[in-house]
């Protein structure tokens, strides 16, 4: 086959594969408790808060899934989506912003989310992420905390500093006793800290400690990725964080190289926590880079 024919074939096959990929995604709706639901599809877990007056969505996955997400919301509420809250700026949580804004939703996020969505982002070992279209930028931003009053309940938006990124927000529903943590929590998985977006392991651990202060044994916790969780799951996640941080710091102090750490048993006790996204080796490398380079 000539190179010209190969290029043409790839041109047609790759887009078709992309469309098929989105067509195969199903959005599932699970009742959490109170007036809060969790939607799963492809990308970060979505939170849904419904009531007689307003509908609020926490994160919105990828743009090609917006109509499916809208249909899933309509299966539990007749109201349109009034608000979108972004837990941080990454595309698997904000990709649908522009679509839902066109449907009339107001986007709310930390001010750093608007900054990052409105400018090109350059992160280590990744291709630059171009600025999102203006329609995807948050309409309402805040610095520390913000409280909304919707459907006769309060919705607390709590900024946690330099954790997964520099714009992370927890969304807490006191009456329903549900906390959405965004990507500051992956259930039974190694976490991802975006060092290039202001994230840090120490900040990530402090964020988990904040969540533990907010929640109790009856709380339900929506992680950024993974199944619906409890406070016991979060305690286990913190223990992993503290253990891994200690192991990496000790290894650095003892002069071990990154290659030696990856070949060792530093993730012992956490079999299955590494996956295709954050493997054992990537977890070790992220902590090594943070503590050896002072990031």
CATH assignment, 24-232: 3.60.15.10
Going by the DSSP 8-state scheme, the letter that residue 168 receives in this structure is: -
Percent of the chain at pLDDT > 90 equals 86
How many helices and strands in the chain, by DSSP H and E? Answer: 9, 12
* pLDDT exceeds 80 at position 64: yes
Domain limits of the chain?
A: 24-232
Residue 125 confidence (pLDDT) = 65
Of 265, 261, 254, 215, give the one whose Cα is nearest residue 238: 215
- Tell me: the pLDDT tens digits for 102-157? 999 999 999 999 999 999 998 766 788 999 999 999 999 999 999 999 999 999 99
- In this predicted structure, what is the pLDDT of residue 186? 97
> Model confidence over 227-281: pLDDT tens digits?
999 999 999 999 999 999 999 999 999 999 999 999 988 999 999 999 888 999 9
Question: Could you give the C-alpha distances from 119 to 16, 33, 123, 226, 241, in angstroms and in order?
Answer: 30, 37, 13, 30, 31
Worst-scoring range by mean pLDDT, 7-16, 183-192, 210-219, 245-254? 7-16
Q: Which residues, 6+ apart, have CB-to-CB distance to 29 below 8 Å? A: 37, 38, 39, 48, 72, 75, 76
Q: How confident is the model at residue 21 (pLDDT cuts 50, 70, 90)?
A: confident
Residue environment code for 16-47, b if the CB has 16+ CB neighbours within 10 A, otherwise e: eeeeeeeeebebebeebeebbbbbbbbbbbbb
Q: What is the pTM of this model?
A: 0.91
> Is residue 4 predicted with pLDDT exceeding 90?
no
């Amino acid at each position: 086959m000539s190179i010209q024919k190969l290029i043409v074939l790839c041109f047609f096959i790759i887009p078709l594969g992309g469309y098929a990929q989105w067509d195969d995604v199903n959005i599932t709706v699970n009742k959490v408790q109170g007036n809060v639901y969790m939607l799963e599809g492809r990308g970060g877990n979505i939170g849904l808060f419904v009531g007689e007056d307003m509908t609020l969505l926490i994160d919105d996955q990828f743009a090609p899934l917006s109509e499916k997400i809208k249909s899933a919301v309509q299966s539990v509420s007749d109201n349109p989506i009034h608000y979108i809250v972004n837990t941080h700026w990454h595309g698997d949580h904000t990709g649908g912003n522009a679509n839902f804004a066109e449907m009339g939703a107001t986007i709310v996020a930390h001010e750093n989310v608007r900054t990052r969505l409105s400018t090109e982002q350059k992160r280590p070992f990744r291709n630059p992420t171009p600025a999102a279209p203006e329609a995807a930028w948050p309409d309402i931003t805040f610095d520390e905390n913000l409280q909304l009053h919707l459907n006769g309940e309060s919705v607390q938006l709590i900024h946690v500093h330099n954790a997964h990124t520099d714009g992370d927000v927890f969304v807490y529903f006191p009456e329903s006793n549900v906390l959405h943590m965004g990507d500051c929590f992956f259930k039974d998985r190694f976490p991802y800290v975006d060092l290039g977006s202001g994230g840090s392991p120490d900040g990530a651990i402090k964020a988990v400690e904040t969540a533990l202060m907010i929640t109790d044994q009856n709380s339900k916790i929506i992680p950024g990725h993974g199944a619906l969780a409890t406070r016991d799951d979060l305690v286990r996640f913190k223990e992993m964080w503290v253990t891994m941080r200690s192991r990496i710091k000790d290894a650095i102090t003892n002069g071990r190289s990154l290659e030696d750490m990856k070949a060792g048993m530093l993730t012992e006790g956490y079999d299955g926590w590494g996956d295709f996204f954050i493997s054992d080796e990537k977890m070790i490398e992220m902590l090594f880079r943070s503590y050896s380079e002072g990031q």
